[in-house]
A = this chain, B = another copy of it.
């Protein structure tokens, strides 16, 4: 049982090149060939370790996300949700950051296996953190006991995805606040 003798330098070069090219050319025009060329790497080295450009981008995202997965708890549920929703809205509004999200989204729409990885490695931890905060809010009486936490987080994040996906309106801080307020109305005892 020997560890795979993988070249870390190449791995880093590939992930970096992929993210650079992604912002330069967009996902559909991103090619494995170009990533390999930019990274100074043989194509085979990419195909040896990843199933395609989608998997490369996913790993680049996972690599760049710190495993913090914990929400602030100031005692004020509404304020804390505002913090996280504002951050999320800002992320989707930023062309640079949302480029990678767009790329991954495209790929997951037709790659079931990749979709699972995204869900388990990126999405679930994030949502779990929010659910934890909501549970704490229930303990302090700031949220109703009966609510379905899964549904609640969807109530918070779903509208953002909807607006982003369908380009159906601006993604501003004011929008984030309004969204939190409306959601709070639904879950406050």
Contacts and interface: CB of A to CB of B under 8 A. Distances in A.
Given A109-B105, A182-B151, A183-B186, A119 B167 contact: yes
A183 to B, nearest CB: 7
Contacts of A110: 26-28, 102, 106
Contact of A151 (B26, B118, B159, B166): B159
A155 interface: yes
A118 B165 CA distance: 11
Contacts of A148: 178, 182
A168 B105 contact: no
Most-contacted residue by chain B among A109, A152, A169 (CB, 10 A): A109
Interface string A127-156: 100000000000000000001101110110
A181 to B, nearest CB: 9
Contacts of A185: 185-187
A166 to B, nearest CB: 5
B162 A157 contact: yes
Given A110-B27, A151-B159, A182-B152, A165 B105 contact: yes
A178 B116 CA distance: 25
Contacts of A49: none
A12 interface: no
A115 interface: yes
Nearest to A116: B167
A69 interface: no
